[in-house]
Amino acid sequence: MEEPAAYRFDPQTGTLHGATGRYDKRLKDLAGLYADEAAFAEAVRRDGARTVYRVDEVRPPVAHGGLIIGTTAMEPGRIGREFFLTRGHIHAIPNRPETYRGESGSGVMLLESPEGDVRVLAISPGVTVVVPPFWIHRSVNTGADRLVMTFCYPADAGQDYAIIERAGGMRLRIMDDGAGGWIAEPNRHWRGRSAEEIKAIRLAADAPQDGGPG
């Protein structure tokens, strides 16, 4: 039986004590995500090894029925006018939800449904964003400081990153508005999803994953 546990994290750095896993996403790992490809190439040439975001997490011993908790720490920065972002995903079991709570810094959660509906929700300390089932989600650091968030989601959820690549990216991009804020602009490469793909996503809800019941 899983032991009850309490975990301490640093709201400024995102370091999660007792984490069972950590990964760093470096700038050079994020090719193809940003609108300004020339600015991206130049930024990688200057310092492609720099960390854009780091995730610390605690996974339970049994995925089905368990929760993953963790922290995301995103550095501030832009590629051209576009703020630093996470790769983004829909859950591999797409009806699994997630919460993100702002701990320090400020940013937005960019959300997109399979059908192409979009939402942009501001996140800052004391704000919890609920990512409902079936929503593609990506975080963006729109501030001048590190953005630290805590998250929680069902441990059997998994991540599907390819859904964004197939559509030519997410439908909106979060850009510097030139006046100290941000603005959501349409991604001209976005091509949406076919009725068949949308149906497959909706039918994938509760599909059994490795070891899960029936």
Q: Which of residues 46-65 bind Ni ion (CB under 5 A)?
A: none
Q: DSSP characters for 134-198?
A: T-EEEEEE-SSS-EEEEEEEETT---B-HHHHHTTS-SEEEEE-SSSSEEEEE-TT-----HHHH
Q: Which stretch binds Ni ion (CB under 5 A): 8-16, 35-43, 95-103, 189-197?
A: 95-103
> How many whole angstroms separate alpha carbon 94 and alpha carbon 173?
23
Nearer to Ni ion, 98 or 112 (CB): 98
Specify the 3-state DSSP secondary structure of 113: coil
Nearer to Ni ion, 145 or 160 (CB): 160
**98 in contact with Ni ion (CB under 5 A):** yes
Shortest distance (Å) from residue 153 CB to Ni ion: 6
For the record, the structure tokens of 85 come out as: 């972002």
Nearer to Ni ion, 40 or 134 (CB): 134
From residue 181 to residue 210, the character string flagging contacts with Ni ion as x (rule: CB under 5 A) and all else as - is ------------------------------
| Contact residues for 107 (Cβ-Cβ < 8 A; gap 6+) | 74, 83, 122, 123, 124, 139, 140, 141, 142, 143, 147, 149
Neighbours of 34 (CB within 10 A): 22
From residue 136 to residue 165, the character string flagging contacts with Ni ion as x (rule: CB under 5 A) and all else as - is ------------------------------
Q: Which stretch binds Ni ion (CB under 5 A): 68-76, 77-85, 90-98, 114-122?
A: 90-98
Shortest distance (Å) from residue 43 CB to Ni ion: 26
Shortest distance (Å) from residue 12 CB to Ni ion: 23
- Give the gyration radius of the chain's Cα atoms: 17
Q: Which stretch binds Ni ion (CB under 5 A): 31-39, 66-74, 94-102, 175-183?
A: 94-102
Q: Which residues contact Ni ion (rule: CB under 5 A)?
A: 98
